[in-house]
Amino acid sequence: MKTAWHGRIVFGAAAVLFGVIALLWHDAETWQTLRQIWSLPFGVVIGECLMGAQIAGGIAMQHPRSARMAAAILCVVYVCFSLACIPSIARTPGVYAAYGSFFEQFCLLCGAVALYAATDTSAAAKAALARLARLGLGVCAISFTVSQVVYFGFTAELVPKWIPPSQKFWAILTTIAFALAAVALLLNLRARLAARLLTLMLLLFGVLVWIPRVIGHPEAHGNWSECALTFLIAGAAWIVANLSSS
The model's pLDDT over 184-206, given as tens digits with 9 standing for 90+, comes to 999 999 999 999 999 999 999 99
Q: How many CB atoms lie under 10 A from the CB of residue 203? A: 18
Lowest average pLDDT, out of 23-27, 57-61, 71-75, 100-104, goes to 23-27
Cis peptide before 165 (omega within 30 of 0): yes
Q: How many CB atoms lie under 10 A from the CB of residue 35? A: 17
206 versus 244: the higher-pLDDT residue is 206
**DSSP one-letter string for 88-126:** HHHH-TT-HHHHHHHHHHHHHHHHHHHHHHHT-S-HHHH
3-state secondary structure (DSSP) of residue 120 = coil
Mean pLDDT for the stretch of residues 210-221: 95
pTM of the complete model: 0.93
pLDDT, tens digit, 9 for 90 and up, residues 11-31: 999 999 999 999 999 887 788
User: Which pLDDT score, from 0 to 100, does residue 244 have?
Assistant: 74
The yes-or-no verdict on residue 1 having pLDDT over 50 is no
| One-letter identity of residue 213 | R
d(Cα 4, Cα 1) in Å, to the nearest integer?
A: 8
Closest to 193 measured CA to CA, from 236, 154, 148, 245: 245
Is residue 233 within 8 A of residue 217, CB to CB? The reply is: no
